[in-house]
Chains A and B, each alone.
Chain A
Amino acid sequence: MSVLSVVEISEGKIKKASVEAAFYGSKVAEGLGTDSIAVVLGEASADELATLGQVGVKNVLHANDARFNNFDSKAFAKAVGEAVSASGATVVSISFNQNGKLLAPRLSVRLKAAYVPGAVDLPVFSGASATVKKNVFSGKASAQYQLNTEKKVIAVNPNSLSPVRGTGTASVEAFAPAVTDADFSTVVKSTDKIVGEIPLSEAELVVSAGRGLKGPENWGMIEEMAHLLGAATACSRAVADVDWRPHHEHVGQTGLTIRPNLYVAVGISGAIQHLAGVNGSKVIVVVNTDPEAPFFKAADYGIVGDAFQVVPKMNEEIKKLKSAH
């Protein structure tokens, strides 16, 4: 018996979301009194993978194979399925990120395992079954999913638990799944990544703005705040729809769901469809001229005021704070 975490590599580095999935896997293993194992598909250095020991992983199964450098759901499901057999895992932990949202359900079918998409807490075991909490109705409620099979697949909602890092080192073992070239069914032709910016889905701090900003030319002060804080920028759908901001920045029910430590919302009313994407944030700050804006009901800190006055002052104060520390 063991718990297996699926750890993704991007350009040789472990993805932040995967560190969290591995930490989650280690917590589950600890509860079950068993080992935390990780499987890594794609090229990476043994030194990088050994750092998984810091979040409790004992052993890493590493397919150091360039064919896995790009995600292919069919080949990945097959390879991870083999890692499950090789490690005797009964629970698999995967990040509920872009790739995990497809890999996890595929894998669950392969293993004929019950699956919970987007767990926000650790599972509670009772005999052969387990229950896991997940958010439903775009965050308006939560549900307890009961997993009724011996093998269980859990996809962990990003930013659900903060990994605590220790000093361990994981051992790394070569792993050669019997995946043939025919199993790779998709070919990546090109990628278009926003370089130099922090990807929104990975960001711990996010500065976001909406229609209250009046026009795309006024985003300079929002970008400045993001720059000062080392934050990513986001926006409401209303402004992405009129092309004031790119669509990949739009958060909410029809956009990205994020759970950063800090979400600053400037000139956004706080419609339920917007809140659905951000109400898992740890701390929410709202700046809005309208004291009745619904966003204040979801906020931790609020300023009723004009963005064009408040935001430049915030930037000045952040500069002062940063130069003092």
Chain B
Amino acid sequence: MKILVPIAKVPDTTSKIAFVDNNTKFSPDGVTFIMNPTDEWYALVRAIELKEKQGGEVVVIHVGLADSEQIIRKALAIGADKAVRVDADPTDAYFVAAQIAAHAKTENYDLIIAGKETIDYNSYEVGGMVAELLDLPCVALVQKLDIENGVATIKREIEGGTETVEAKLPLVICAQKELAEARIPNMKGIMGARTKPLAVVPADATEKLTAITSYAVPEKAKECKYVSPDNVAELIRLLHEEAKVI
């Protein structure tokens, strides 16, 4: 089975979020970039588990510039077999999806496992866009994925619960928590990653459909109104009469 895992690069969750150039650009100053956690912990690990069980190959693809090398090597250290980097700045989801789809068209993957969202732009879009570009079925918010004789059994989140669906391969999946247990690269993996193939390819000419024109950080924190623990009745009165929420 040939599996493709698109991986994104994002600022570490503890990064200070600041903007420059009149609030038009994210400031990378002092920010540590990491592999998008959903991609690393769930999508990539489940792909590797499926390969370990059924044989095949796991390829990671990343749309980004040369400074992404470190996260790509980490994916190889965790267990991907090879990597492709499309050399372009990933500023628009449609553009990113088009690059991934262009690569996938040449390779006949049985399965593409993306993450549900990146933790910076929280967009939930690339996986679904790739599926539409390739005219493939797609299931998102996936918590469980098993494959038997070319048929995937998938558990996905719905409002207030989960749903189990079946779909034939080839297929696109957008992963979320519970799909797998995160793996930490071991020394052998880290050493091996250095010699695994990493192809750098130029981007396809695709227009960008959106642009971010400005950012804003929320106004100052709200003022908390404190109520004494001996006067709980007052809190309930405020929620009823002042906030009018109960």
Residues of A within 8 A of B (CB): 10, 15, 72-74, 77, 96-99, 101-110, 112-118, 131, 135-138, 140-149, 185-194, 197-202, 205, 229, 247-248, 253-255, 261-262, 272-273, 282-283, 285-286, 296-306, 309-310, 313-314, 316-318, 320-321
5 contacts between A and B (CB under 8 A): A73-B131, A140-B218, A192-B164, A202-B159, A321-B240
B159 and A303: CB pair below 8 A? no
A188 and B165: CB pair below 8 A? yes
Question: Smallest CB-CB separation from A231: which chain B residue?
Answer: B246
Residue B209 is within 8 A (CB to CB) of chain A in the complex:
yes
Q: How far is the CB of B234 from chain A (nearest CB, A)?
A: 9
Complexed CA–CA distance, A302 and B238 (Å): 11
Residue B5 is within 8 A (CB to CB) of chain A in the complex:
no
The 7 A-B residue pairs whose C-beta atoms are closest, nearest first, are A199-B160, A305-B229, A185-B137, A193-B161, A105-B128, A109-B132, A105-B125
A185 and B160: CB pair below 8 A? no
A301 and B160: CB pair below 8 A? no
A188 and B177: CB pair below 8 A? no
A98 and B224: CB pair below 8 A? no
How many residue pairs bridge A and B at CB < 8 Å? Answer: 265
A297 and B132: CB pair below 8 A? no
Known contacts A102-B138, A106-B129, A106-B138; A189/B239 CB under 8 A: no
Q: Chain B at the A interface: mostly helix, strand, loop or mixed?
A: mixed
B160 and A200: CB pair below 8 A? yes
Q: How far is the CB of A183 from chain B (nearest CB, A)?
A: 10
Known contacts A202-B160, A300-B222; A253/B13 CB under 8 A: yes
A146 and B137: CB pair below 8 A? no
- Residues of A near B222 (CB, < 8 A) are 298-300
- Of B178, B214, B232, B243, the residue contacting A314 (CB under 8 A) is B232
A109 and B97: CB pair below 8 A? yes
Complexed CA–CA distance, A310 and B210 (Å): 49
B162 and A302: CB pair below 8 A? no
B239 and A105: CB pair below 8 A? no
Q: How far is the CB of B99 from chain A (nearest CB, A)?
A: 13
- Residues of A near B215 (CB, < 8 A) are 136, 141-144
Known: A102-B139, A187-B166, A191-B163. 4 other contacts (CB 8 A): A107-B132, A141-B215, A192-B163, A299-B224
- Residues of A near B162 (CB, < 8 A) are 191-192, 248
- Of A103, A136, A201, A229, the residue contacting B160 (CB under 8 A) is A201
Question: Smallest CB-CB separation from A117: which chain B residue?
Answer: B123
Q: How far is the CB of A48 from chain B (nearest CB, A)?
A: 18
Complexed CA–CA distance, A253 and B119 (Å): 8
B132 and A105: CB pair below 8 A? yes
Q: 1/0 per residue B204-246: CB within 8 Å of A?
A: 0000111111111110011011111100110110111001011
A262 and B239: CB pair below 8 A? yes
